[in-house]
Structure 1
Amino acid sequence: MKHFITILFLLLLINAVAQDENKIILSDGWKMQSSLTDKAGGKEISQENFTANNWYNVSVPTTIIAGLIANKEFDFDPFYGKNLEKISGERFDHSWWFRKTFELPVGEKNKTVILTLHGINYKANLWVNGVLVKDSSVIKGPFRIFDLDITKFINEDGKNVIALEILSPFNPNKKDGDLAIDYADWIHYPADYNGGIVNNVSISTYDKVAVRYPLVTTKFNSKALTVAHLTVDAEVINYSGEAQDVTVKGKINNNINFEQKIHLQPNESKSITFKPTDYKQLNIENPRIWWPWQYGNPDLNTITLQSVVKENISNTIKENFGIREITSVFISNDAREFIVNGKPIMLRGAAWSPDIFQRRSPERQEQEIKLVRDMNMNIVRSEGKFEDDNFYDLCDKYGLLVMTGWMCCGSWQYPKSWSAEERNVAMESDRSVMYWLRNKACMLSWLNGSDMPPTDTSVESGYLAIEKELKWPNPILATANEGVSKVSGKSGVKMAGPYDWVPPIYWETDPHKYGGAWSFATEISPGPSIPPYESLIKFIPKDSLWYTNSDWLYHCGTMEFGDTKIFNEALNNRYGKSTTIQEFLDKAQAQNYEAHRAMMEAYGLNKYNTATGVVQWMLSNPWPGLIWHTYDYFLYPAGTYFGMKKSMEPLHVQYSYKSNEVIINNSLLKSFNNLTAKAAIYDINGVLKFNHSIVTSVKEDAITKCFVLPAIKDLSDVYFLRLELTDANGKTKSINWYWLSQKQDVLNWNKSTWFYTPQSAYTDLSGLQQLPKTSLKTDYITTKKELSTTQHITITNTGKAVAFFVHLRALKGKDGDDILPVIFDDNYFSLAPGESRTINCSYENKNAGNADAYILTTAWNAAGE
Structure 2
Amino acid sequence: MKKLIFTLILPFTFCQAFSQSRQENFQLILKDDWKMQSAVTDAAPADKISKENYDTQSWYKVSVPTTIIAGLLANKIYDFDPFMGRNLMKLKDAKLDKPWWFRREFTLPAAENGKNVILRLHGINYKANVWLNGIKIADSTRIKGPFRIIQLDVTNHINYTGNNVLALEVVRPFTPNKSRGDLAIDYADWIPYPPDYNGGIVNNIELKTYDKVGVQYPLVTTKFDLPSLAVAHLTVDAQVTNYTNTAQDAVIKGHINNDVAFEQKVHLMPKESKNITFTSEAFKQLNIQNPRIWWPWQYGKPELNRVDLSAEVDGKVGNTLWEKFGIKQMDSKLLNNESRVFMVNGKQIMIRGAAWSPDIFQRRSPERQEQEVKLVRDMNMNIIRSEGKMEDDNFYDLCDKYGMLVMTGWMCCGVWQHPEHWDAAERKVAMASDSSVMYWLRNKASLLVWLNGSDMPPTDTSVERDYLKIEKALKWPNPVIATANEGKSKVSGYSGVKMAGPYEWVPPIYWESDSTHKFGGTWSFATEISPGPSIPPYESLIKFIPKDSLSTSSAAWLYHCGTGSFGTTKVFDKALTERYGASATIKNYIAKAQAQNYEAHRAMMEAYGLKKYDTATGVVQWMLSNPWPGIIWHTYDYYLYPAGTYFGMKKSMEPLHVMYSYKTKEVGIINSYAKKFTGLQVKATVYNIDGSIKYTKTAPAAVDADASKMFFAIPAVTGLSPTYFVRLQLTDNAGNVQSINWYWLSQKAEVLNWKKSTWFTTPESAYTDYTALQQIPKTALKLSHIQGSAGSDSTTHEVTITNTGKSVAFFVHLRALKGKEGDDILPVIFSDNYISLAPGETRIIKCTYSNKDAMNNTPYFLTSAWNLDTEKSTGDGDQSGFEDGLPVD
Which sections of structure 2, spanning at least 5 residues, go unmatched?
Answer: 1-14, 871-883, 885-889
- For 1:389 and 1:172, locate their aligned partners in 2 and report how far apart those are by CA, in whole Å: 27
Shift of 1:15: 5.4
The match for 1:605 is 610
Aligned with residue 789 of structure 1, among 795, 815, 822: 795
Shift of 1:17: 7.5
Aligned with residue 595 of structure 1, among 597, 600, 603: 600
The match for 2:693 is 688
Q: Is the 8 A contact 1:13 1:24 kept in 2?
A: no
The match for 2:447 is 443
Q: Does 1:132 align with 2:126?
A: no
State the SS of the aligned residue for 2:229: coil
Overall identity of the aligned pairs, in %: 67
Q: Does 1:20 align with 2:23?
A: yes
- For 1:830 and 1:333, locate their aligned partners in 2 and report how far apart those are by CA, in whole Å: 42
Aligned with residue 851 of structure 2, among 827, 840, 845: 845
- For 1:16 and 1:751, locate their aligned partners in 2 and report how far apart those are by CA, in whole Å: 51
The match for 1:88 is 92
* 1:736 aligned partner, one-letter code: N
Deviation digits for residues 408-439 of structure 1, max 9, x if unmatched?
11111110100000000000000000000000
Q: Is the 8 A contact 1:678 1:691 kept in 2?
A: yes
Q: How does 1:32-181 map to 2 (within 5 A)?
A: 32-181=36-185
Structure 1 residues 689 and 543: CA distance shift in structure 2, 3 A? same
Deviates more, 1:350-359 or 1:671-680: 671-680
The match for 2:470 is 466
Deviates more, 1:458-467 or 1:719-728: 719-728
Shift of 1:41: 2.2
Q: Does 1:757 align with 2:772?
A: no
Q: Does 1:271 align with 2:275?
A: yes
Aligned with residue 222 of structure 1, among 214, 226, 233: 226
TM-score, normalization: structure 1? Answer: 0.98
Q: Is the 8 A contact 1:17 1:25 kept in 2?
A: no
State the SS of the aligned residue for 1:334: coil
Q: Is the 8 A contact 1:802 1:832 kept in 2?
A: yes
* 1:637 aligned partner, one-letter code: P
State the SS of the aligned residue for 2:23: coil
* 2:817 aligned partner, one-letter code: L
- For 1:14 and 1:85, locate their aligned partners in 2 and report how far apart those are by CA, in whole Å: 34
The match for 1:768 is 773
- For 1:735 and 1:481, locate their aligned partners in 2 and report how far apart those are by CA, in whole Å: 35
Deviation digits for residues 719-750 of structure 1, max 9, x if unmatched?
11111111121111111111111111110000
Q: How does 1:487-506 map to 2 (within 5 A)?
A: 487-506=491-510
Deviates more, 1:671-680 or 1:394-403: 671-680
Structure 1 residues 529 and 660: CA distance shift in structure 2, 3 A? same
The match for 1:4 is none
The match for 2:823 is 817
Aligned with residue 682 of structure 2, among 677, 695, 710: 677
Q: Is the 8 A contact 1:353 1:621 kept in 2?
A: yes
Paired positions, count: 854
Q: How does 1:340-739 map to 2 (within 5 A)?
A: 340-511=344-515, 512-739=517-744
Structure 1 residues 741 and 14: CA distance shift in structure 2, 3 A? closer
- For 2:661 and 2:406, locate their aligned partners in 1 and report how far apart those are by CA, in whole Å: 29
Q: Is the 8 A contact 2:19 2:394 kept in 1?
A: no
The match for 2:8 is none
Which sections of structure 1, spanning at least 5 residues, go unmatched?
Answer: 1-11
* 1:46 aligned partner, one-letter code: S
State the SS of the aligned residue for 2:396: helix
Q: Does 1:832 align with 2:838?
A: yes
Shift of 1:370: 0.3
Q: Does 1:747 align with 2:752?
A: yes
* 2:751 aligned partner, one-letter code: V
* 2:776 aligned partner, one-letter code: L
TM-score, normalization: structure 2? Answer: 0.95
* 2:486 aligned partner, one-letter code: E
Deviation digits for residues 288-346 of structure 1, max 9, x if unmatched?
00000000000000011101111111111111100000100111452110011111000
State the SS of the aligned residue for 2:628: coil
Shift of 1:594: 0.3
- For 2:808 and 2:122, locate their aligned partners in 1 and report how far apart those are by CA, in whole Å: 57
Deviates more, 1:615-624 or 1:786-795: 786-795
- For 1:541 and 1:13, locate their aligned partners in 2 and report how far apart those are by CA, in whole Å: 37
Task: Kindly report the root-mean-square deviation, in angstroms, between the aligned alpha carbons of the 2 structures.
Answer: 1.1
Shift of 1:483: 1.0
Shift of 1:13: 11
Shift of 1:704: 2.1
Q: Is the 8 A contact 1:330 1:337 kept in 2?
A: yes
Shift of 1:173: 4.6
Deviation digits for residues 828-864 of structure 1, max 9, x if unmatched?
0100000000100010111111111100010000003
Deviation digits for residues 205-225 of structure 1, max 9, x if unmatched?
000111110111110012121
- For 1:503 and 1:541, locate their aligned partners in 2 and report how far apart those are by CA, in whole Å: 30
Shift of 1:395: 0.3
Shift of 1:786: 1.9
- For 2:479 and 2:175, locate their aligned partners in 1 and report how far apart those are by CA, in whole Å: 32
Deviation digits for residues 526-577 of structure 1, max 9, x if unmatched?
0000001011000001111010111100100111111000000000000001
- For 1:713 and 1:475, locate their aligned partners in 2 and report how far apart those are by CA, in whole Å: 53
- For 2:177 and 2:611, locate their aligned partners in 1 and report how far apart those are by CA, in whole Å: 36
